[in-house]
Structure 1
Amino acid sequence: MMPRHMDTLLLVVDEGSFEAAAARLGVSPSAVSQRIKALESDVGRVVVRRTSPVGVTDAGEVLVQTARRMRLLESETDDRLRGRVSERPVSVGVNADSLATWFRPVLRHVAEAGGMSLELNLEDEQRSLAMLRRGDCMGVVTAEAEPVAGCVVEALGTLAYWPVGSPGLAGELAEGLAGRGDEAWASLPLLVIGPHDRMTDSVLGPRGVATRPDRRVSRIPSFEGLNDAVVAGLGWTLVPVAAASPYVEAGTMVRLAEDVVRVPLYWQHWRLESDTLGVLTDAVHAAAAVGLTS
């Protein structure tokens, strides 16, 4: 596998098309296509799906991850020869709840290391491994304990959540519980941060409550916005205890039940001897030791 072909693969994936990659390289789309075909011939498998935007096969994911690792090592080698710290962005996948709570000290640790920049990718902790498989991130915060091929998984701790709503919504639920029991939860308006957010199932499931198709669901793609929506009475959701506590103490949020939903979190990262990745991993573990429960 020629380095030029691997670099071309990364450009095709990052740019989303052969034409865009060709423009970046200053060559024709036909030349880019020939390089990809040569790479596929070397590995004996189809690597790129000719879709719009382009996708990669399972074999392509392995090659993309390998190519990104090669770039990181080349960058660090060059830095050592020049006596400076890598300026390559450190790509991390993290969920919004973590970024807004326990993960924040990671930013300070990376800043103190000097010469590094972060590229954060927000993704649900149940779905972040896809970014690791594609090689988009060096490491991800995930709820998945099963390691991705070529990666290391390390336990971080547990993030605890409370089911919360506004005082008005809490009163509505209490009235419903008195008349209909747990079924009252089924019609309560719901807040989610994204289309794949199913965390509230951990509260509804044990109560034997099925989500009604006519339920009001508001999607608020922001951690701060989600908290504001709870206070406004738009619906209920699960909020990390550390973030919900000040609101509960102020009376603007109310715990709707005594449930404490605990989500184990893990740090999965490339299996690679890298100074840059080492700094990042140390920072993540230091933050988790303070902000998560064991």
Structure 2
Amino acid sequence: MKTFQLEQLRTFAAVVEGGTLEAAARTLYVTPSAISQRLKAMEDAAGQILLQRTNPARPTPAGEAVLRFARQVRQLEWDARQELGDRDGEQSRPIPLVVNADSLSTWFLPALASLPPGLGASFELHREDEQHSTQLLRTGMVMAAVTATPEAVQGCSVEALGALRYRAVASPGYISHWWPAGPELAAGSRVPVVDFDRKDHLQDEFFTAVTGAVLAAPRHYVPSSAEFAQAIRLGLGWGLLPEQQCLADLRSGDLMELAPEHPLDVSLYWQRWKIDSLLLNQLSAAVRETAAKHLR
């Protein structure tokens, strides 16, 4: 396989990020024909198709490796310019990251806010369940992830951040209706429950671990962290909330805990591309320090 040229790598990343050849052409100030010629030259050099010509355009499995490489080269180039004092060069492209919704709503944004303003960093956040976030790392769509997966994705490093503790909670009105004698999770296999979305199996796994039974309940799907918590407070169903979102309500009596002796700890990990990037190194340090303050 021949070596890809820098302009070809820039072109490939621009097509994937823009979704079309025309969008990439506008970004790079060339014609769509030039974009097409560069892509063809890359595929000839690789000996295989790298890009699905769909709308939006998507990398093939081989193209995912090229996308990851293109973004790594671009980030290292930007880092080098910063270290050389070139403040007038190309601005940093947003760093794509994937974070689970509960981390995003409780502790992750303070990590980004702790970075020095003069660093010139910007971020593109993808929200994905912590059990599925590594897939975006594998495809090259993100450079780092908060994940529940301790096994490092190829080309990435991994470090433990700590555990996000959850409590199974419901509103007093919900409990008085469904459990007049008091909360009894073992008798609740068919009472309403709130799930984040159809990928969210946290309530099912918790219920089975505590009771040994299968949760066969009517579901409410509320795919927003704040509204998920609000749905529970309003009595739509029971569910698991991070301690940061429910401890105050438990103290005030606005929520009641269903299994106080069974908190659920979900271990979280930070996976990032294994490149010596100034920006990624500083981001990782900020994530590590913030997690140490907020996670168990």
When normalised by structure 2's length, the TM-score is: 0.88
CA distance in 2, matches of 1:225, 1:32: 43
Kept in 1, the 8 Å contact 2:175–2:182? The answer is no
Following superposition, the deviation at residue 143 of structure 1 comes to 0.4
Counterpart position of 2:73: 70
Cα distance, 1:159–1:181 mapped onto 2, change above 3 Å: closer
Q: 1:150 aligns with which of 143, 148, 155?
A: 155
2:288 matches 1:285: yes
Say which is worse superposed, 280-289 or 35-44, in terms of deviation: 35-44
2:228 matches 1:223: no
Q: 1:102 aligns with which of 96, 99, 107?
A: 107
Q: 1:161 aligns with which of 166, 176, 179?
A: 166
Q: 1:210 aligns with which of 210, 214, 223?
A: 214
Gaps in structure 2 of 5+ consecutive residues: none
CA distance in 2, matches of 1:83, 1:20: 27
CA distance in 2, matches of 1:97, 1:166: 20
2:26 matches 1:4: no
Counterpart position of 1:248: 250
Following superposition, the deviation at residue 200 of structure 1 comes to 0.8
Counterpart position of 1:195: 198
2:142 matches 1:140: no
2:53 matches 1:50: yes
CA distance in 1, matches of 2:117, 2:77: 23
Following superposition, the deviation at residue 23 of structure 1 comes to 4.2
State the SS of the aligned residue for 1:197: coil
Task: Give the counterpart letter for 2:245 in structure 1.
Answer: A
CA distance in 2, matches of 1:129, 1:105: 22
Structure with the largest fraction of helix:
1
Task: Give the counterpart letter for 1:233 in structure 2.
Answer: G
2:273 matches 1:276: no
Task: Give the counterpart letter for 1:245 in structure 2.
Answer: L
After superposition, the C-alpha distances for 1:53-76 in whole angstroms (9 at most, x for unaligned) are 222222111110110111111112
CA distance in 1, matches of 2:55, 2:95: 27
Task: Give the counterpart letter for 1:269 in structure 2.
Answer: R
Cα distance, 1:225–1:115 mapped onto 2, change above 3 Å: same
After superposition, the C-alpha distances for 1:90-130 in whole angstroms (9 at most, x for unaligned) are 33221121122232430332145643233322221111112
Q: 1:17 aligns with which of 16, 20, 25?
A: 20
Kept in 2, the 8 Å contact 1:113–1:279? The answer is no
Kept in 1, the 8 Å contact 2:194–2:221? The answer is yes
2:135 matches 1:127: no
Task: Give the counterpart letter for 1:285 in structure 2.
Answer: R
Say which is worse superposed, 195-204 or 140-149, in terms of deviation: 195-204
Task: Give the counterpart letter for 2:78 in structure 1.
Answer: S
Kept in 1, the 8 Å contact 2:112–2:287? The answer is no
Task: Give the counterpart letter for 1:283 in structure 2.
Answer: A
When normalised by structure 1's length, the TM-score is: 0.89
Q: 2:44 aligns with which of 31, 41, 44?
A: 41
After superposition, the C-alpha distances for 1:134-189 in whole angstroms (9 at most, x for unaligned) are 333221100011111111011111111011111122234434999x983x422222
Say which is worse superposed, 47-56 or 249-258, in terms of deviation: 47-56
Give RMSD over aligned pairs: 2.5
Cα distance, 1:133–1:90 mapped onto 2, change above 3 Å: same
State the SS of the aligned residue for 2:56: coil
Following superposition, the deviation at residue 268 of structure 1 comes to 0.2
Cα distance, 1:98–1:266 mapped onto 2, change above 3 Å: same
Following superposition, the deviation at residue 211 of structure 1 comes to 4.0
Gaps in structure 1 of 5+ consecutive residues: none
CA distance in 2, matches of 1:263, 1:236: 18
Following superposition, the deviation at residue 40 of structure 1 comes to 1.5
Task: Give the counterpart letter for 1:52 in structure 2.
Answer: N
Percent sequence identity over matched residues? 37
Cα distance, 1:150–1:44 mapped onto 2, change above 3 Å: same
State the SS of the aligned residue for 1:101: helix
Count of matched residue pairs: 289
